[in-house]
């Protein structure tokens, strides 16, 4: 079957480690289900994997991809939940120390077929296209958990979203707006700031700009480049929810004094549970909010999508399709 996979690891030139070609179709273990992939979306996680982050050499070749929507063997339309927890684990799957994401231990979704534990399938409603549904399991689920589970923000709160063009950031803006939050966004790029306003942000600022007021919470995925600004943006008692560090994990100033003096809260967030994915799907059905898709490409052209993500020149998600 056709697949986009890591044939080797390249920390400095991740795109050179990507191969789009033939891989054996997967066997289906007891209790698992096969999904014929109709659409799969790209995440920064896939670039990290090519760099060897979370993917050791002894697991290669590894099909990349966490997100997919497709048909199971009974013809049901499904969305795939990417967090695979231990069969004995009870409760929040993201807290299982032995959990992995698809493409870390088990083969990923950028292929004709993927196999996952049967409990990882969530029904896809007909209102969502294959492409839209394929955006949900990582970026949109992460944004959902950041806003509603970790920050627990009441409607009317002011929230700053850093790096407005990203897959997670566009989800934060659209979901937050639909939930009655006042969203402010930053971006280095004027066009992306305009898109943020179109998506529902009330105001958009240049990265690092002085804000007109302090905010209740900051949603952080950029990391070192924006961390200081995020800490300085908060009101006393406010919260930063962090789920990524694209620009690096070591900010120049950690602002520790400000964190304790203003009693700020720093909350880590990773992916989300199957139940949260199910609720996210219902949230989209109810509100009419839909994922922001930058480009749809056939899987054969996966390398082009990876290049665009590596360049940072995109707004929202890149989706790969299969016939």
Ligand X SMILES: NC(=O)c1ccc[n+]([C@@H]2O[C@H](COP(=O)([O-])OP(=O)(O)OC[C@H]3O[C@@H](n4cnc5c(N)ncnc54)[C@H](OP(=O)(O)O)[C@@H]3O)[C@@H](O)[C@H]2O)c1
Q: Which residues of 272-289 are buried (b: 16+ CB within 10 A; e: fewer)?
A: bbbebbebbbebbeeeeb
> Could you give the CA distance from residue 35 to residue 73 in angstroms, rounded to a whole number?
7
Question: Residues with Cβ < 8 Å from 106, sequence gap 6 or more?
Answer: 84, 100, 115, 116
For ligand X, give the closer residue by CB, 25 or 98: 98
Count of residues that interact with ligand X, criterion CB under 6 A: 32
Among 26, 70, 163, 251, binds ligand X (CB under 6 A): 163
CB of 221 to ligand X, least distance (A): 4
274 binds ligand X (CB under 6 A): no
Piece of 68-76, 115-123, 244-252, 281-289 that binds ligand X (CB under 6 A)? 244-252
Torsion 52-5-79-126 (CA) sign: positive
Within 8 A by CB and 6+ apart from 88, the residues are: none
In the region spanning residues 95 to 154, those forming contacts with ligand X, defined by CB under 6 A, are 138-139, 142
3, 35, 37, 45: which one contacts ligand X (CB under 6 A)?
A: 45
Distance (Å, whole) CA 156 – CA 154: 6
Cβ closest to ligand X, residue 153 vs residue 168: 168
Piece in contact with ligand X (CB under 6 A), picked from 2-10, 21-29, 105-113, 245-253? 245-253
Pick one of 26, 70, 108, 244: the residue that binds ligand X (CB under 6 A). 244
3-state SS, residue 165? coil
Query: Applying CB under 6 A, does 222 fall inside the site for ligand X?
Result: yes
CA–CA distance, 118 with 213 (Å, rounded to integer): 47
- Interface with ligand X, residue 66, by CB under 6 A: no
Query: Applying CB under 6 A, which of residues 85, 103, 158, 221 lies at the interface with ligand X?
Result: 221
Where do the H-state alpha helices sit in 139-243? 141-144, 167-178, 190-199, 227-233
Which of 10, 194, 203, 247 binds ligand X (CB under 6 A)? It is 247
Is 158 a binder of ligand X (CB under 6 A)?
Answer: no
Minimum separation from the CB atom of position 252 to ligand X (A): 13
CA distance 143 to 52: 25
Residues that bind ligand X (CB under 6 A): 43-45, 48, 138-139, 142, 163-169, 187-189, 192, 207, 221-222, 225-226, 243-247, 270-271, 309, 312
């Amino acid at each position: 079957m056709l697949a986009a996979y890591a044939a080797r690891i390249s920390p400095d030139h991740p795109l050179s480690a990507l191969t789009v070609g033939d891989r054996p179709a997967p066997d289906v273990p007891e209790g698992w289900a096969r999904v014929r992939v109709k659409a799969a979306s790209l995440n920064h996680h896939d670039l990290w994997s090519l760099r060897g982050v979370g993917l050791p050499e002894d697991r290669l070749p590894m099909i990349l991809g966490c997100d997919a929507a497709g048909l199971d063997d009974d013809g049901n339309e499904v969305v795939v939940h990417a967090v695979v927890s231990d069969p004995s684990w009870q409760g929040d799957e993201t807290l299982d120390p032995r959990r992995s994401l698809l493409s870390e231990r088990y083969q990923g979704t950028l292929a004709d077929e993927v196999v996952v534990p049967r409990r990882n399938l969530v029904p896809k409603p007909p209102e969502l296209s294959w492409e839209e549904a394929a955006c949900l399991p990582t970026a949109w689920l992460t944004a959902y958990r950041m806003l509603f589970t970790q920050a627990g923000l009441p409607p009317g709160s002011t929230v700053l979203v850093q790096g407005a063009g990203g897959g997670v950031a566009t989800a934060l803006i659209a979901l937050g707006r639909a939930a009655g939050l006042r969203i402010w966004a930053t971006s280095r790029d004027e066009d992306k700031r305009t898109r943020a306003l179109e998506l529902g942000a009330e105001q958009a600022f240049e990265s690092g700009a002085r804000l007109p007021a302090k905010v209740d919470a900051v949603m952080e995925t950029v990391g070192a480049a924006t961390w200081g600004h995020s800490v300085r943006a908060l009101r006393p008692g406010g919260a930063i929810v962090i789920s990524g560090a694209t620009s690096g994990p070591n900010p120049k100033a950690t602002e520790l004094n400000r964190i304790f003096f203003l009693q700020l809260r720093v909350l880590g967030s990773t992916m989300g549970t199957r139940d949260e994915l199910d609720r996210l799907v219902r949230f989209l059905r109810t509100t009419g909010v839909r994922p922001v898709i930058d480009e749809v490409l056939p899987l054969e052209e996966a390398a082009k999508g990876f290049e665009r993500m590596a360049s940072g020149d995109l707004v929202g998600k890149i989706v790969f399709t299969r016939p």
